[in-house]
Amino acid sequence: MDNVPYKTYLTENELPDAWYNVRADMKKKPAPLLNPATLKPVTAEELEHVFCKECVRQELDNDTPFIPIPDAVRDFYRMYRPSPLVRAYFLEKALGTPAKIYYKFEGNNTSGSHKLNSAIAQAYYAKAQGLTDVTTETGAGQWGTALSMGSAFFGLKCHVYMVKCSYEQKPFRREVMRTYGADVTPSPSMTTDIGRLINQEHPGTTGSLGCAISEAVETALKLPNARYLLGSVLNQVCLHQSIIGLETKAALDKLGVKPDVIIGCAGGGSNLAGLMAPFMGEKLRGENDYRIIAIEPASCPSLTRGRYAYDFCDTGRVCPLAKMYTLGANFIPSASHAGGLRYHGMSSLISELYDQKMLEAKSVEQSKVFEAATLFARTEGTLPAPESSHAIRAAIDEALRCKEEGREETIVFGLTGTGYFDMTAYAKFNDGEMGDVIPTDEDLAAGFALLPKV
Amino acid sequence: MDNVPYKTYLTENELPDAWYNVRADMKKKPAPLLNPATLKPVTAEELEHVFCKECVRQELDNDTPFIPIPDAVRDFYRMYRPSPLVRAYFLEKALGTPAKIYYKFEGNNTSGSHKLNSAIAQAYYAKAQGLTDVTTETGAGQWGTALSMGSAFFGLKCHVYMVKCSYEQKPFRREVMRTYGADVTPSPSMTTDIGRLINQEHPGTTGSLGCAISEAVETALKLPNARYLLGSVLNQVCLHQSIIGLETKAALDKLGVKPDVIIGCAGGGSNLAGLMAPFMGEKLRGENDYRIIAIEPASCPSLTRGRYAYDFCDTGRVCPLAKMYTLGANFIPSASHAGGLRYHGMSSLISELYDQKMLEAKSVEQSKVFEAATLFARTEGTLPAPESSHAIRAAIDEALRCKEEGREETIVFGLTGTGYFDMTAYAKFNDGEMGDVIPTDEDLAAGFALLPKV
């Protein structure tokens, strides 16, 4: 053991008082959202029909580097933040690697993940605007839980559309949301026009985030005093998640450690965007260099096998178009267990940075991911979420490379959450019944063929 | 908000390096365990057939005030300890109370509770003794998970007998244990003599901790190189859990805060024993006074309605007899959801201190407990375990008394764990289907009639 403690906590006074907006340091900004009717950049006014006013302002702000965190949000953060930066001594030992492995652990809250960081901010802005209801979708359930918690805290009614395969695999997740006072509906449902249409066109579908988004947006537009809140993909969410990276950087600076490799799992992209934010800022400003790696499931490989193009964000095509690495809005991945990584696209922010070659991307197979998850659980104690375990897999692979090459690199990865509600997936793995379903080139070509001509 | 942070963490260097043995400060010691055959105080040699050598030494040591924590155990502790002492600002605000409420939160680890504190110590001693297998029982599942984690860490094979009603209510708990490499068997099972007997005598029984203990002990005795490890009740476990109280006291001292009331839920009693340890020590030595309150479920009221007598620790009567507040070893409580509080007796240590009037005891009804749990979840964020929520209920009641009386008392309670695997119980509460099953005086008389004549 060297002098670094197992867990490094910042004090509550060291909690950042502003989020960092990496777009401010990008010369070429992420492509703007387009109005699906006019195909012109969407205006703030148009977006405000769907999203909260302040969230729209943040969504469109490509220039302000630091955006203050409201006091009420910061007070809520104090209940579970700063989160620990953990040195994975026991994992290092098990691997016999000279690499030093750190992880930023976002799972020590009841949502079980980093999602609460943006949920509480968005719930605050919804309440401040005088709304009574909010709607959203959830895949793995972390975002839905997080928003249920945020809504309960500020006295908002929360309506959650939960991707059907997750709803069925995770019965207890929906009960947590109900305990926080939320309504939970499996998606596609028969309660919305788009849900009925999707059920008709794809009978027996297990759903997708794209469908669930469409249903949640439709409901927000129909309710008298509601808006839709989204847990990933958008610039505003990446902005709120920068708290992860800011704390990570501050803790590493305290320890006098400069990372070589930064690894995050990437579904919509908000966790990776948040974790890498200040490091990417230094890279963009030419102050420092880091390898930054996005890890995605082989079953839903938007960065590694997708197209960089304008696409619909939701299956129902009610949302603005975003330019992103995408598999096509109609791509429905296999019922993989990493529900949070099943989105067909990647945030515009990450997509643009990937296109500028500012970060790498890799895909990993599910069975290898659960092998890594089990090793991590048994050595480091914490049972990780399947999503997070994609990053664990990659961190282990990098550490093994260091071992082979005799390098003492420092690896930092984001442990986004815990797997306590993912035991159906672990059961499959424990029973040796977990397979890897990887889309064929033909599967992908079908999705690309339907990309809008913009 | 005053100057106290939401969460007070000690540094890893401030982690206690010895457990505190409250028995050393008791003038009248807890009554000794008796050999069930001879009814004479059990010897170390006799106990070593069932338990690990060092654990036996600690069990019988009534005199040494501080027992060093082995380095390997302390290193494991560093992965999840020191645990935070949290100021419940938002709960105080919701109650409008002048009381200051603190809770020591033991749920930020995958076992979901304080049980890991003793599990890792006992697993260490088992490994150090050269054992290959360990056996145990689990009620709510926290102890079984904790021991599975400890066993995985030290490379031991762990065999868990899980009370049948918990096994059925918490399918995902058993999957966590399997992920850490443990065998999990519902109890009473058909794999042991005592299990077969109990199944024959009580067909369809939902089980009890007392049955599960008997099965685990029988298995330990039959395996070639195994011992039985117990998660509560015993002196050694209370000793290991003193880490909770030592950290709590150190954190409060740092803040310059002296508590008035200390509250812990009590099933076997180890959490309360651990939380109160250094405070009870001061009380025993006449240095300070505190109100210390044990909270138990109305469905299993060993302290408030039990007898203080020698009784069997397990249904199969294979373990030594302990003098304790008991409902009788044959008492099987209703299938209440606080699985961890369903034990028929209370630790000899707590029983003796209660008999000496060094602490109070109260019982609370389940529906009121879940009301408190829901309020806590929505204000303080964390979804609490049903067991812990007994302490929350009592803390809220004390805070409301302070409000009525206009007193600014300081209340500290133990939040022993999280409720992520208790969603079946929360679902019942959310659906308005949770009842309170309280034993009648006749029910209790039947249990008392079978107490051994010692």
Question: Considering only CB atoms, which chain B residues are within 8 Å of A171?
Answer: 423
> In which domain, by residue range, is B189 found?
36-62+115-228
* Segment A62-85 mean pLDDT: 97
Average pLDDT over chain A reads 94
Residues B93 and B204 in one domain: no
Nearest CA in chain B to A423: B172
State the Cα–Cα distance between residues B153 and B156, nearest whole angstrom: 8
User: Is a pLDDT exceeding 60 seen at residue B111?
Assistant: yes
Reported ipTM: 0.94
Which residues of chain A have a CB within 8 Å of the CB of B109? Answer: 381-382
Same domain, A372 and A444: yes
Inside any domain, residue B21: no
* Residue, of A2 and A72, whose pLDDT is higher: A72
**Is residue B175 scored above 60 in pLDDT?**
yes
- In tens, the pLDDT along B300-321 reads 999 999 999 999 988 778 889 9
**Cβ partners under 8 Å of residue B125, min gap 6:** B52, B53, B54, B55
Q: Looking at the predicted structure, is the pLDDT value of residue A107 above 70?
A: yes
Q: Could you tell me which of A340, A31, A29 has the C-alpha nearest to residue A165?
A: A340
Q: Do B175 and A378 touch (CB under 8 A)?
A: no
Q: Could you tell me if B105 and B241 lie in one domain?
A: yes
Q: What span, in angstroms and rounded, lies between the C-alpha atoms of B250 and B258?
A: 11
Do A314 and A197 fall within a single domain? no
In a domain, B1, yes or no: no
For chain A, percent helix, then strand, then coil, each to nearest 5?
45, 20, 40
pLDDT given at position B406: 98
B291-297 and B360-364 as β-strands: parallel, antiparallel, unpaired? parallel
**Are the CB atoms for A359 and A276 separated by under 8 Å?**
yes
CATH of the domain at A330: 3.40.50.1100
Per-residue pLDDT tens digits for A145-167: 999 999 999 999 999 999 998 89
> Are B107 and B126 within one domain?
no
DSSP state of B210: H
Cβ-defined contact of A381 to B5 (cutoff 8 Å): no
Tell me what pLDDT residue B203 has.
93
For A240-269, the pLDDT digits (tens) are 999 999 999 999 999 999 999 999 999 889
Q: Is the CB of B383 less than 8 angstroms away from the CB of A90?
A: no
- Residue B19 falls inside a structural domain: no
Widest Cα–Cα separation across chain A:
62
- Comparing CB atoms, the residue among A86, A149, A176 nearest residue B423 is A176
Question: Are A291 and A408 in the same domain?
Answer: yes
Proportion of chain B above pLDDT 90, given as a percent: 85
Q: Do A223 and A282 reside in the same domain of the chain?
A: no
Residue B23 lies in a domain: no
* One domain for residues A190 and A246: no
pLDDT of residue A210: 80
pLDDT over threshold 70, residue B337: no
* Contact residues, chain B, for A424 at CB < 8 Å: 172, 175
Q: Final residue of a domain: which of B205, B228, B251?
A: B228
**B370 close to B434: Cβ distance less than 8 angstroms:** yes
Q: Which of A206, A228, A250 is the last residue of a domain?
A: A228
CB contact under 8 A, A79 and B381: yes
Q: Look at residue B336 in the predicted model and tell me its pLDDT.
A: 64
Per cent of chain B over pLDDT 70 is 98
Q: Is residue A21 part of a domain?
A: no
- Residue in chain B lying closest to A176 (CA): B423
For the ranges A21-30, A211-220, B210-219, B337-346, the maximum mean pLDDT occurs at A21-30
Q: Supply the pLDDT for residue A1.
A: 54
Give the pLDDT score at A330: 81
Q: Are residues B51 and B148 in the same domain?
A: yes
Considering its fold, how many domains does chain B have in total?
2
Q: Residue A339: its pLDDT value, please?
A: 64
For residue A89, list chain B residues with Cβ-Cβ distance below 8 A. 75
Q: Is the pLDDT of residue B170 over 90?
A: no
Residue A350 near residue A266, CB atoms below 8 Å? yes
For residue B305, give Cα distances in angstroms to B292, B295, B326, B444. Answer: 18, 13, 8, 8
Closest CA–CA distance from residue B108 to any residue of chain A (Å): 6
Identify the DSSP state of A287.
Answer: S
CB atoms B108 and A110 under 8 Å: no
* Amino acid code (one letter) for B11: T
What is the per-residue pLDDT for B335?
66
Q: Would you place residue B274 in the very low, low, confident or very high pLDDT band (cuts 50, 70, 90)?
A: very high
B306 and B412 part of one domain: yes
Boundary (domain end) residue, out of A211, A228, A245: A228
Cβ contacts of A167 on chain B, cutoff 8 Å: none
Distance from the A228 Cα atom to the nearest Cα atom in chain B, whole angstroms: 21
Specify if A22 maps to a domain.
Answer: no
Bridge-based pairing of strands A133-138 and A100-105 is unpaired
Is the pLDDT at B1 greater than 60? The verdict is no
Question: Which residues from B are below 8 Å from A178, CB to CB?
Answer: 426-427, 430
Is residue B454 in a domain?
no
Residue B58, Cβ density class (10 Å: 0-12 exposed, 13-18 middle, ≥19 buried): buried
| Whether residue A323 is found in the same domain as residue A368 | yes
Average per-residue pLDDT for chain B: 94
CB contact under 8 A, A381 and B180: no
**Nearest residue on chain A to B87, alpha-carbon basis:** A79
Do residues A272 and A299 both lie within one domain? Answer: yes
pLDDT of residue A268: 87
Does the residue B177 lie in any domain? Answer: yes
